[in-house]
Amino acid sequence: MEDFHPLNRPLRGVVTMTADKSIAQRALMLAAIAEGETRIDNLPATGAVASTLHALRTMGARIDLGDPAADGSRPACIDGWAGMSIDFEEMPRLHCGDSGATARMLCGLLAGAGMSAHLDAGEQLSRRPMDRVLAPLLGMGVGFDSMRFPFTLYATNQLNPVFWELPVASAQVKSALLLAALGAQGESVIREPALSRDHTERLLRAMGVDLESTVMPDGSYELRSTGPATPDASLLPQPWVLPGDPSSAAFLAVAAALLPGSDISIDGVALNPTRIAFAHELIAAGVDLQIEYETEVAGESVGSLRVRCANSMPQYAPLRVEAAQVPSLIDELPVLALFATACQGESVFRSVAELRVKESDRLQGIIDGLSTLGCHAWLDGDDLHIAPGTPTRSATFDPHDDHRMALTWAVAGLCFQPTKVPGFDGIVKISFPDFIDRLGHLA
């Protein structure tokens, strides 16, 4: 599907969310280096997870997938290679597809495991910067023959601990360094200017890693890691049931907030505080959104989001997103920018330059896309401003193979004016392959 037309009717009903790919990729990597068998239920059938599975299998991990459920998700059993001797006839060649999380975290995993490999990526990912993760790994003693794809990572058995201050909060870079620190001799210290998503920390602690976190007086976030705390220095395998993806849920939540008369519940969603900031932004704008906590899964709080919209369009307050909030909103900013056009006043998103180095230049994509729809958005330094005034024109978009942008322009077509997003189904496979199916349960 690539043509989207205004629904002209509310969204109603209950939908269960696709499992979170960020948690899934991290759980797979940690299971691969644990000692013993790990079972992961609800592994999502996304492109990003497929890239991670392929790379781990190429590295020698034994991964058995069960029969798929209706949404394509599967149970997985992973036999970790801790304590095993894996000999390759030649250095493994790992292809990361277009998954930035796969590429960056694999570099840390390889470094911590003392395993050398060739790494390559798809055309889109090859354009994205890798120096943020490769530079600190160089300081730990890892070698590279290039700082761009394709490159070879040369591991060392004498890995130095890392002390690194991230100039920009990044969950992927932080996770890569935490994975590398598992194989370092001594305490590693990682600081980021604000807390980014912390799934890796939660999983590592559950698997026995001594990991200390501190919020510093200036608001920065510091992590100290001394590696696995178990006597045999191995990660403890755990059974994981993966919760639903809040970033994907954001697109359904915004659509419901923009379609009068809507009343939806999105169940089974991870309610990690570093992932549901978008919900609090919507609540602050006046959206009738309730967060209901239910249980704990894989170290994460899980529950549901209920979103209701009055029969006549509410007058939403403008969004005010400060710089410290951006790391917890980075994937939802495009659809929040679309939502901002329906607010009664100018919305401001502070210090969002990080959007330029995602799957596409999302910052320029937002400005150009909203302009094409007849809206007004502009930059003041690194601050994004969006004037009130919903889309008045139909449009055809080139999402530049960026799944978040493709989903945003789909929501624009469903809620405002007709849009066309060429290649939509293939693009969104990386994170939300069943968007149309989930929408069909509600429309």
Which residues, listed in sequence order, are joined to residue 348 by a DSSP beta bridge? Answer: 320, 385
Residue 232 in any domain: the answer is: no
Same domain membership, residue 168 and residue 269 = no
Backbone angles phi, psi at 358, to 5 degrees: -90, -155
Q: Which two tokens stand for residue 203?
A: 């999983």
Same domain, 25 and 13: no
Q: Out of 331, 401, 402, 434, which one is annotated catalytic?
A: 331
Residue 237 falls inside a structural domain: no
- Please say which residue of 178, 194, 225 terminates a domain: 225
Same structural domain, 180 and 82: yes
The verdict on 352 and 318 lying in the same domain is yes
Task: With respect to residue 126, please indicate whether it lies within any of the assigned structural domains.
Answer: yes
Let me know whether 267 and 201 are in one domain.
Answer: no
Asked if the structure places residue 230 within a domain, the reply is no
Domains identified in the chain, total number: 2
- What letter represents residue 341's amino acid? T
* Domain's final residue, options 159, 193, 225: 225
- 272 with 288, same domain: the answer is yes
Q: What is the spatial distance between Cα 35 and Cα 136, in angstroms, rounded to a whole number?
A: 27
Q: Do 263 and 367 reside in the same domain of the chain?
A: yes
pLDDT confidence of residue 299: 77
Same domain, 374 and 431: yes
- CATH code: domain of residue 268: 3.65.10.10
In a domain, 234, yes or no: no
For strands 117-120 and 151-154, give the pairing.
antiparallel
The C-alpha atoms of residue 184 and residue 178 are separated, in whole angstroms, by 10
Cα 22 from Cα 15, distance rounded (Å): 20
Question: Would you say the pTM of this structure is higher than 0.75?
Answer: yes
b/e burial code for range 110-130 (CB count within 10 A of at least 16 → b): bbbbebbbebebbebbeebeb
Tell me: do 173 and 132 sit in the same domain. Answer: yes
Residues 6+ apart with CB under 8 A from 229: 208, 209, 210
The verdict on residue 130 lying in a domain is yes
Say whether 145 is catalytic. Answer: no
Same domain for 13 and 115, yes or no, is no
Picking from 174, 194, 225, the residue at the C-terminal end of a domain is 225
The domain of 296 spans 3-19+243-440
Assess whether 26 and 134 both reside in one domain.
yes
Q: How much is the pLDDT for 231?
A: 44
- Going residue by residue through the chain, which has 443 residues, state the pLDDT in tens, using 9 for 90 and above: 899 999 999 999 999 998 999 999 999 999 999 988 999 999 999 999 999 999 999 998 899 999 999 888 999 999 987 645 556 668 899 999 999 999 999 999 999 989 999 999 998 889 888 999 999 999 999 999 999 999 999 999 899 999 999 999 999 999 999 999 999 988 999 999 999 999 999 999 988 888 999 999 988 999 999 866 544 557 888 899 999 999 999 999 999 999 999 999 999 999 999 999 999 999 999 999 999 998 987 678 999 999 999 999 999 999 999 999 999 999 999 999 999 999 999 999 999 999 998 888 999 999 999 999 999 999 999 999 999 999 999 999 999 999 999 999 999 999 999 999 999 999 999 999 999 999 998 98
CB-based contact 386:337 (threshold 8 Å): yes
For residue 231, is it within any domain?
no
Same-domain pairing of 249 and 191: no
What span, in angstroms and rounded, lies between the C-alpha atoms of 349 and 150? 35
**318 within some domain:** yes
Q: How far apart are CA 15 and CA 253, in angstroms?
A: 11
* 171 C-beta neighbours (distance < 10 Å), count: 25
